[in-house]
Amino acid sequence: MRAEIRLRHYSLRTEQAYVDWARRYILFHGKQHPQALGAEAVRDFLSYLASERHVSASTQNQAKSALLFLYREVLKIELPWLDEVIAAKSTQRLPVVLTPTEARRLLDATSGTTGLIVALLYGTGMRLLEGLRLRVKDVEFERREIVVREAKGNKDRVTVLPENLILPLRMHLEKVRALHERDLEAGFGEVHLPDALAVKYPSAPRSWAWQFVFPSGNRSLDPRSGMERRHHIHESSVQRAVREAAKLAHIAKPVSPHVLRHSFATHLLQAGYDIRTVQELLGHKDVSTTMIYTHVLNKGGRGVVSPLDR
């Protein structure tokens, strides 16, 4: 299954999730081979996830996708019942959005490298992993822009680089460069490159341009190649820092790094920017996805004045 996933250049996250769902499915049915199971077995497993494990619709659909991949691509079984397995209906929820005052309080409650990451997420609208996977070469200081590579859907896009972050980012990169030079002196300094770029450009993994803007404090072993490298900061450390900052700022909302992306979009729309511009900055495929933020603009419920206020 891993071989088929890597053949299609799926991400490591997808590989881990799909393999885990296949393992759970096999264990759920008493370690029977999936080839001996059919539509009822898949339905029973998905029903168990919903009724007993109470997973969300998106999690249930991810499990279904993993099982479809297992049967179609790994076992090469093309059965008509695969398409008939009902997908769970996802419900659309309004995103949690901070007010500008709350966003300012949250940023004031952070510091250091994580504080810089939090400010960058709010100032650019990037997803957490997009920010952490940022390479030195993709930060354009003179053009005041950031190139987001291999974002959701494996698409590239350009977003704004906030003026207030130019100096802090330059100072941060000076420290990162010193760390990279120490790694090179110690015989390390290589970074993971996507696809076969490391084969095409043998010197690229050690070059400064390809290094992560936010490297981890420790080197680690690559889960696929086994090489010792310095990867980017783990997302859990940023998630934890945001939760702690929200407590310090006394924000009575569930705050995560993704809330900063929602806040970025909403605050741009409040400032009068065109929704198409916001769509491009966020990298949404369809403008209807961006339209969700028009429902949480700071105008009261649906922009009306309550009769009580009259």
Is 152 part of the annotated catalytic residue set? yes
> Which pLDDT tens digit goes with each residue over 233-290?
999 999 999 999 999 999 999 999 999 999 999 999 888 888 899 999 998 888 888 8
Residue 217 lies in a domain: yes
Do residues 71 and 188 share a domain? Answer: no
Digit-coded pLDDT (tens) for 116-149: 999 999 999 999 999 999 999 999 999 999 999 8
Quick check: is 90 in a domain? Answer: no
Domain end point (choices 42, 57, 84): 84
Domain assignment present for residue 303? The answer is no
CATH number at residue 48: 1.10.150.130
Considering only 27-31, 107-111, 304-308, which range has the smallest mean pLDDT? 304-308
User: Which residue out of 261, 262, 273, 276 is catalytically annotated?
Assistant: 261
Of 84, 115, 138, which one is at a domain's C-terminal end? 84
Give yes or no: residues 138 and 277 share one domain: yes
Please state, in angstroms and rounded to a whole number, the distance separating the CA atoms of residues 23 and 18. 9
Distance CA 108, CA 89 (A): 39
Is residue 261 part of the annotated active site? The answer reads yes
Residue, of 306 and 82, whose pLDDT is higher: 306
| Shared-domain flag, residues 137 and 282 | yes
Per-residue pLDDT tens for 159-218?
999 999 999 999 999 999 999 999 999 888 888 887 667 677 788 888 999 999 999 988
Work out the percent of the chain whose per-residue pLDDT is above 70.
Answer: 92
Residue 302 lies in a domain: no
- 67 and 115 together in one domain: no
Residue 227: pLDDT band (50, 70, 90) is confident
Question: Is residue 298 pLDDT above 60, yes or no?
Answer: no
Task: Write out the residue range of the structural domain in which residue 44 sits.
Answer: 2-84
Domain boundary among 54, 84, 114: 84
Same domain for 73 and 144: no
Q: What is the pLDDT of residue 83?
A: 59
114 and 73 housed in the same domain: no
Catalytic position from the list 72, 152, 206, 219: 152
On the question of pLDDT at 81 being above 70, the answer is no
Asked if 85 and 60 touch (Cβ cutoff 8 Å), the reply is no
284 is catalytic: yes
- The two tokens of residue 276 are 């198409």
CATH number of the domain to which 147 belongs:
1.10.443.10
172 shares a domain with 23: no
Percent of the chain with pLDDT over 90: 53
Tell me whether residue 127 is one of the annotated catalytic residues.
Answer: yes
CA pair distance 244, 118, nearest whole angstrom? 12
Whether 258 is catalytic: yes
Domain count, the chain: 2
Which pLDDT score, from 0 to 100, does residue 84 have?
A: 59
Mean predicted confidence (pLDDT) in 53-60: 86
Which helix (H) or strand (E) segment holds residue 169: the answer is: helix 166-185
